[in-house]
């Protein structure tokens, strides 16, 4: 076998191994990755940093419910993340959910990683004796390539 044939065979082996390793990692680790932020109160704030050096990704959730008024939220995320050992993930969807102890629920889903929104809050806020509120944001990613890069 010549030098050129050995190089071609090695390249073919590496390509096949990468594809197989990606599928094995997706099956073993799971084909999805979620980042979830949550907070309670009339004002909401949470943050998380995902990844390891040199790939860090900051996620931020902010929001506020105001008594019988227009309330707001904003989420800051990333359209793709690379998590060492696990792989590269692309955003499938992001979402926000607000609930309170009176049974009120608001859910919205987005296709982008960063989003803002407003809504009418038909209660007193937590600070004014209203029901306790919880805001949760989720960024749901699907595995597109596995590896140990």
Q: Three-class SS string for the chain?
A: CCHHHHHHHHHHHHHHHHHHHHHHHHHHHCCEEEEEEEEECCEEEEEEEECCCCCCEEEEEEEECCCCEEEEEEEECCCEEEECCCEEEEEEEEEEEEEECCCCEEEEEECCCCEEEEEEECCCCHHHCCCCEEEEEEEEEEEEECCCC
Q: Two tokens at 92? A: 């499938």
Instruction: Summarize pLDDT for 129-149 with one digit per residue, the tens.
Output: 999 999 999 999 999 987 654
Out of 2-16, 31-45, 58-72, 120-134, which region has the weakest mean confidence (pLDDT)? 2-16
**Hey, is 35 helix, strand or coil?**
strand
Q: What's the whole-number mean pLDDT along residues 102-106?
A: 96
Q: How far apart are CA 2 and CA 56, in angstroms?
A: 44
């Amino acid at each position: 076998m010549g030098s050129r044939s050995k190089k071609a065979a090695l390249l073919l082996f590496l390509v096949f191994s990468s594809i197989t390793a990606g599928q094995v990692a997706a099956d073993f680790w799971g084909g999805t990755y979620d980042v979830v932020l949550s907070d309670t109160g009339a004002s909401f704030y949470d943050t998380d940093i995902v990844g390891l050096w040199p790939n860090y990704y900051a996620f931020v959730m902010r929001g506020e419910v105001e008594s019988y008024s227009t309330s707001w939220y904003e989420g800051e995320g990333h359209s793709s993340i690379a998590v060492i050992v696990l792989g590269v993930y692309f955003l499938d969807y992001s979402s926000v959910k607000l609930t309170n102890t009176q049974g009120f629920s608001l859910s919205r889903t987005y296709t982008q990683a960063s989003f803002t929104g407003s809504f009418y809050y038909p209660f007193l806020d937590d600070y004014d004796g209203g029901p306790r509120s919880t805001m949760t944001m989720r960024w749901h990613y699907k595995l597109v390539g596995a590896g140990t890069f």
